[in-house]
Amino acid sequence: MGSFVTNVYVDPTAIIDNGVSLGSGTKIWHFVHVMKDAKIGKDCVLADYVYVGRGVKIGNAVKLENRATVYEGVTIEDKVFVGPHVTFTNDLIPRSFNTDWKIQQTLVKEGSSIGAGTVIVCGSTIGEYSLVGAGSVVTENIPSHALVYGNPARIRGFVCRCGRKLETEEKKKDHVLMKCPVCNEKYEIATKDYARIEKEE
């Protein structure tokens, strides 16, 4: 059996380094490693073999699926889903012999979802409630509510908070009005972001 401390479950096979902060209701499962000074919020789930690097900041109600790898320099806000085998990087010029290594920061904003097997190149910001398709390689900033996938990941549309793809209702000068066909929620998407949608070939 694992241990419960202030309503936190830590499996006995997990390694939690000194200085780690774990929020109430969080569950840490088999063979997870959380490095020194990482901060993990309330009601999170870290599934089997997840790695969280030194000083990483994770918000509340975040789910990291099996073998997700979150290296130093990453900040994940509340209610984010990170699929299995997702990898975050933190060095744009990796060399085993470099002595001037500089960590590049990555920010994953509230409510976004990252599909299985995705690679996030460091220095990127993943916008609120965006959706990254499985197997993508993210090399640039993603706007809020954007649906992206591919290698490199490109904008293919926009999604609702509920995850469904939005439909275009009206185009105006500075924004496009879009609507969810399921919950009827409406959104104003900036024209400059809407113009980045790429059609499938």
pLDDT in tens, 159-194: 999 999 999 999 999 999 999 999 999 999 999 999
First to last CA, the chain: 52
Task: Yes or no: say if 118 and 86 are a contact pair by the CB < 8 Å rule.
Answer: yes
Round to whole Å and give the CA distance between 96 and 81: 31
Residue 156, both tokens: 């293919």
The answer for residues whose C-beta is within 8 angstroms of residue 179's C-beta and 6 or more apart is 166, 167, 169, 185, 186, 187
3-state secondary structure of 171: strand
Is the pLDDT reported for residue 4 higher than 60? no
Amino acid 5: pLDDT: 58
CATH of domain 3-165: 2.160.10.10
Each domain of the chain, given as residue ranges in start order, spans 3-165
pLDDT-derived band at 3, boundaries 50, 70, 90? low
Q: State which H helix or E strand residue 5 sits in.
A: strand 3-5
Q: What is the mean pLDDT of residues 68-93?
A: 98
Whole-prediction pTM:
0.94
